[in-house]
Structure 1
């Protein structure tokens, strides 16, 4: 069965272990945007890395949306940019 290019899975890619560990580290250190002071940064990093290794050994595959470049809708150039591409 062919995959439709507009389906959510067509823009997904396997998440890198480093990305998963960073997300878990953040989750252990913050509650939303508020810093949690009961988890030390080093401990959060160690726990996240061990969790990632365990999930990989168990066969889990986490997916992440493909990175996209922000679209620039402005047709204007920065005032310090010269026509030759060199700044002021």
Structure 2
């Protein structure tokens, strides 16, 4: 069934409505949606993958909302502590 039939519209739905219809179809098919930080965490897995840690941290800080702000704050505190200890 097309998105226009599902939405009960003669024209195609807006992109936002279309995405919601597609997400609903996926959920009905058994997909369990997760948020992007969980996906990023699965891809990064751990800090042993040193090559990708800076990019993952930058994404988290720039687009992670409150978590990104908390991460930035923690990094600032760690930098201040390192500077204060002469390290």
TM-score category by the smaller chain? under 0.3
Higher relative contact order at CA 8 Å, sep ≥6: structure 1 or structure 2? 1
User: Which structure features the higher share of helix residues?
Assistant: 2
Q: Which is strand-richer, 1 or 2?
A: 1
